[in-house]
Amino acid sequence: MSKIALFPGSFDPITTGHIDIITRGLDLFDKIIVGIGNNAQKNYMFPINDRIQFVKDSLKEYPQVEVMPYDGLTVDFCKTIHAHFILRGVRNAIDFEYEKSIAQMNHAVESSIETVFLITSPIYAPVSSTIVRDLIRHGADVSTFVGEGVKLK
């Protein structure tokens, strides 16, 4: 049985920090599915199709990484794709507390799915999609903070 992990997020856009966690996660899992959540209540900077393409283009050299959009509960999507693990990156103590709560709730809902945390490499710790979006809004060059597949118009 292969070890499949889901790396969920909005990836609006995918950052170098995300890529760091995904590529390091490949040492632990046979396959990582990047699940791009679609929340109708959330206003995204980039449409879902662009976010999917950004991730695919940024990780094209890793055939063990797939990209799929999903709606609904993350644990339900895990069951659909036969993932027994959720991979998450943690930059700091605030991230950890937030992610810990979600992991505990996910485990309460579906005990067969485990969450695995990887600590972000120090070089990527200050990078977040929220900050990158703000930089984009103000016309800054974000090329060192996003995946090489992110094409800004």
**147 falls in which pLDDT band (50, 70, 90)?**
confident
Sign of the torsion angle spanned by Cα atoms 128, 133, 135, 139: positive
Residue 42 annotated to the active site:
yes
For 25, the domain range is 4-137
Give me the DSSP letters along 9-36: E--TT-BHHHHHHHHHHTTT-SEEEEEE
38-84 pLDDT, tens digit per residue, is 877 789 999 999 999 999 999 999 999 999 999 999 999 999 999 99
Question: How many independent structural domains does the chain possess?
Answer: 1
**Residue 72 domain-assigned (yes or no):** yes
- Pick the catalytic residue: 2, 3, 42, 82? 42
**Residue 102 domain-assigned (yes or no):** yes
**Residue 13 domain-assigned (yes or no):** yes
Whole-number average pLDDT of the chain: 95
Share of the chain above pLDDT 70, in %: 99
Rounded distance between C-alpha atoms, residue 25 and residue 5, angstroms:
9
- Pick the catalytic residue: 18, 31, 51, 88? 18
Considering the entire predicted model, what is its pTM? 0.94
**Residue 98 domain-assigned (yes or no):** yes
- Pick the catalytic residue: 31, 51, 88, 91? 91
Residue 82 annotated to the active site:
no
| CATH, residue 86 | 3.40.50.620
**Residue 104 domain-assigned (yes or no):** yes
**Residue 147 domain-assigned (yes or no):** no
Residue 129 annotated to the active site:
yes
pLDDT for the residue numbered 153: 64
